Structure 1
Amino acid sequence: MSDDHETATDPDDVTLSRIETEVALLMRLGEATRRATGTAEHRVLDRAAYVILRHLDATGPQNVSALAARLNLDGSTVTRQVAALQRDGLIDRAPDPTDGRGTVISPTPAGLHRMAAVQAARVRLYGDMLADWDPADRDNLAEMLRRLNEALERRTRRR
């Protein structure tokens, strides 16, 4: 028997292949669900703006470089996204207290309001989709996703 055949039937490899398939489907279906959701609440922020506002809400004001590093994005990409958020009145810039030459960004009340509306709509959506799940299964899913996200973050920081 060849090594390739043994690897293909290794239970751990089979499980990892299933995980890879399910994550790929999750990403595709998650985006398709976001696009197909008809409520205006889901469309008040694009995905990038939502992620930036959620991060700033959780961590406090930051400069663009720190934000880009934390979100694993190119600085120029974050700069463009931040400019759009500022133009829409969703973030403010202020002098960086640790470096007078720089600025930090923080969400405005309008930005936090829109972010909260999107978050609430998403919570309702997942509540509807998972309504027939046992609460322990929902809790287990949340914990497993948290652990997966932590592993993905560790992986991207090693690059």
Structure 2
Amino acid sequence: MPTHPDMTTDPTDDTHDTAPPPEEPTPLAGSAVFDAMQHQLAVFARRAEQTRLGGLGQARNSMDRAAYLLLNRLDQEGPMGVKALAAGMGIDSSTVTRQVAPLVESGLVKRTSHPEDGRAVVLQLSPRGQARLEEVRSSRRELMQVVTDDWTDEERETFCALLTRFNTALLGISPGAPDQPPAS
């Protein structure tokens, strides 16, 4: 199998984490491209976990992934109930309830009555949560700028579009059903 950046790196070997920038990859054919994709995804997951992609500066690694995603969803879509939040994120309601609890406790999210059904509770980003989210977002934006400093705008846009497409395709795979093709 042809080698290509990080293809010779053992994903469990932490001694290669500071490798020099990769050379242009050799085009891959057939199953080699899928082998390379899964390997690069594993390398990415390891590096993302090690660095937590937590941004730069004072806000670096100051918010875990779950909190960031929950706050970001509430910011983008407005107040909503636990079930709607869970459905929008593709996770279980009990998981959202567990992840939201410390955000409510710390004052980043507040529980309020549903405007149309006073018996229902909705979650809403608090002003403190909004400020904290923007601080973390800014730090992470700066990290993305640094990491892609030598990329063109077109490369950044293409990478973002492909990563979005990849993440969307992953939503079509049900956990526990490894032979299931992605939903069309």
TM-score by length of 1: 0.82
Letter in 1 for 2:150: D
Matches within 5 A, 1:81-92: 81-92=99-110
Q: How does 1:12-23 map to 2 (within 5 A)?
A: 12-23=30-41
**Alignment partner for residue 65 of structure 2, among 47, 51, 56?**
47
**C-alpha distance in 2 between matches for 1:89 and 1:141:** 35
Higher relative contact order (CA 8 A, sep 6+): 1
1:94 to 112, 118, 127: 112
Whether 1:133 and 2:145 are equivalent positions in the alignment is no
Contact 1:45 1:114 in 2 (8 A): no
Count of aligned pairs between the two proteins:
149
Percent of pairs identical after alignment? 35
* SS of alignment partner, residue 43 of structure 1: coil
Q: Take 2:71 and 2:54, find their aligned partners in 1: how far apart are those partners?
A: 22
Q: Give the residue type in structure 1 aligned to 2:38.
A: E
Alpha carbon RMSD of aligned pairs, Å? 2.3
Partner of 1:61: 79
Whether the aligned pair in 2 keeps the contact of 1:53 and 1:115 (CA below 8 Å) is yes
- Supply the distance in 2 between the matched residues of 1:126 and 1:63 (Cα, whole angstroms): 31
Structure 2: gaps of 5 or more residues? 1-27, 176-182
Q: Which runs of 5+ in 1 are unaligned?
A: 1-9
Checking the alignment, whether the CA contact within 8 Å between 2:109 and 2:126 is kept in structure 1 is yes
Shift of 1:141: 0.7
Aligned to 1:30: 48
Closer, same or farther in 2 for the Cα pair 1:100/1:12, shift >3 Å? farther
**Does 1:111 pair with 2:129?**
yes
CA contact 2:55–2:136 (8 Å) conserved in 1: no
